[in-house]
Structure 1
C-alpha cells in the first residue's frame, strides 16, 4: 500500500508533488490546505483524508484530527498548531500513544522521527509557501507490519517576478 503524506499547500500544490501523489492508495493532507486544493487532491486519488489547519477557514469541512487503521497499526493525522514547537512531538506522542505514526504539518519542515514510538512524520510543505529545502511530501509504504517512510523533495521553483 502506498500512502502519500502532504501538508501546508496554502492554496498551491506543486505540480511535481501532484504527479507523485497521483494513484496513491491513500492521500493524506495534514492541514493548511487552501482554496481549490481539496478538489485537486480528489482528482489524484480515490481515498483522500484531510484535516484542518490553523490557516483553513473555520467552516472547512474537515476534522481537526483523523485516525486511519492500516495493516500494522494506526495512522493519526493532525495539523499540530495546537501545541508549541518546543514540546509538540512529546505532546503528540502523549495524546496519541496507541498510534503507529502521527502525521502533522504546521512547521513546513520535513521530519521523519522514527526512533521513538509513535513515529512523528511531517511531510513539509507541498506548495510554495516556506517549502524549506523544496516542496515535497513523504511516501509511506505499508506492507503488513513493515512501514517504510520515504521523503520526496523537489528543487524549489524560481520565484516569479
Structure 2
C-alpha cells in the first residue's frame, strides 16, 4: 500500500501487510485528526518506506501524561502517522486516510466517546476504552511475534 499527504510532498509505502487496523474514537484522536475517529494502521516502523524527496517533520505532543510523536508533512501539515507509548518507536500507527486505498478497522476503541453519526458495523469488536487483558486477544500469534520482534529491535543495546 502507498500513501502520503494532501499536497503529495511526502509519499510512503507500507512494505508489508498491516499488523492490525483500529478505529479510535478517543477525544485525542478526534482532535488530532479533526474528525470523528482516527483509523490507525498498525505496522512496524521499518516497514514504512519513504518514497521521493519529501520527509515528514516529527512533532512531539502530550495529552495528560501520554507523550507521542507524530509525523506531519512540513508543507501541508497533514498527520501521516503517530506512535503510542505502549509500543515506542518500534510501531507506527499510520493514519488510514493517508493511504491511497481504503482500509477497514478490525476493532473500534473508545466507543464511549464515539460520535453519534458513526456506527460500528455489526460483528466488529468494539470497546468503551482500550481492551483489557480479560478481553479475547485482538490479533493472532504471528501478529504478536511481529510486534515483539519490532520492539526487541528498538531496545537500546546494553
TM-score by length of 1: 0.25
TM-score by length of 2: 0.26
Structure having the higher Rg: 2
Q: Which has the higher helix share?
A: 2
